[in-house]
Amino acid sequence: MLTTLGVVEACPPPGRVFPDVASFSLPHRRFGDTSLLEWVVRRVTDASQLSQVVVVCEEGSLSFEVERIVPPDVAVFASKLPDSLSRFRAATNHFCADAVVRVQVGSPFIDPVLIDRLVNVACTDSQTDYVSYCSSDGQPVALSRFGVLAEWCLAAAIERADEQATDPLDRQDVTRFVFSRPDLFSMRLIPVPTQLDRDDLRLGINIEEDWEHAQIIYDALGPESLEWQTIACLLDQHPEIRARMATLNREEASV
């Protein structure tokens, strides 16, 4: 069986963050009784199919803060390499991983059960470079704001992407080169659960209003009831929030 490393990126890629949410501040924000970064890390460690979970960040003042707030049993890989893709490749090499599951810090509702499903599906096909979820229109979740789903990628595919990608956007967004080049990489996309396949769902944090919605959900459900099914049921009872999420998704898609 492949050795699969869970990687939490301490800062989201610049191309996916609007100016009003500073990437350097996001990991430290309080989500319940802990930092957002520690919360996300703990959600990922609940997945049973990962050999290890690590946090990857750029070496510097941020890495010192990351080491301070990350649980002591979770490793931090800080690197001076110039972009996210090269740091990601270095991390997979350092931890001798065959594959990685990528999770961004702005994913407080990341689902460990769906991470395990992702890894199990990936392990059934030795020829696949990249596995993730997709909506009914075929769009990979990496291009959406679902916020509860991860991506799986073969370490060898990360290495090839690092060697071939030259576009700055591909260098800063780890999997972008892989999932956008089906001519070079073998991909498998799993349909998202029906309750998540909707344009009025937005649970990833990309702008300040996303953070406000996340806090509303946390306050309504509490820390022990944040499964995606429960969140979907809650949002069904709040059409005003769903309408606003749909608007934000349309606005972002038009940028």
Domain range list for the chain? 4-254
Residues with Cβ within 8 Å of residue 121, at least 6 apart in sequence: 131, 188, 190
For residue 122, the number of C-alpha atoms closer than 13 Å in the C-beta half-sphere is: 29
Stretch 53-57: mean pLDDT, rounded? 95
CB 114 within 8 A of CB 174: no
Q: What pLDDT does residue 110 have?
A: 96
User: What does CATH list as the number for 4-254?
Assistant: 3.90.550.10
Phi, psi of 103 (to 5 degrees): -135, 135
Q: How far is CA 193 from CA 99, 198, 199, 232, in A?
A: 24, 10, 13, 11
Note the pLDDT tens digit of each residue in 181-207: 999 999 999 999 998 999 999 999 988
Band (pLDDT 50/70/90 cuts) for residue 12 is: low
Band (pLDDT 50/70/90 cuts) for residue 139 is: confident
Structure tokens at 84: 């996210």
Q: What pLDDT does residue 111 have?
A: 96
**Cα–Cα distance for residue pair 28/141, rounded to 1 Å:** 25
Stretch 230-241: mean pLDDT, rounded? 96
**Cα–Cα distance for residue pair 191/193, rounded to 1 Å:** 6
Q: For the chain, what percent of residues have pLDDT higher than 70?
A: 94
Q: What angle do CA 134, 137, 142 make, to 5 degrees?
A: 35
Band (pLDDT 50/70/90 cuts) for residue 232 is: very high
Q: What pLDDT does residue 89 have?
A: 96
Stretch 17-29: mean pLDDT, rounded? 60
- Its pTM stands at 0.92
Chain centroid to Cα 32, Å, comes to: 20
Question: Which one, of 228, 226, 232, 227, lies nearest residue 245 by Cα?
Answer: 232
pLDDT of 146 higher than 80 = yes
Stretch 172-180: mean pLDDT, rounded? 94
Stretch 164-187: mean pLDDT, rounded? 95
pLDDT of 15 higher than 50 = no
Structure tokens at 115: 């991470």
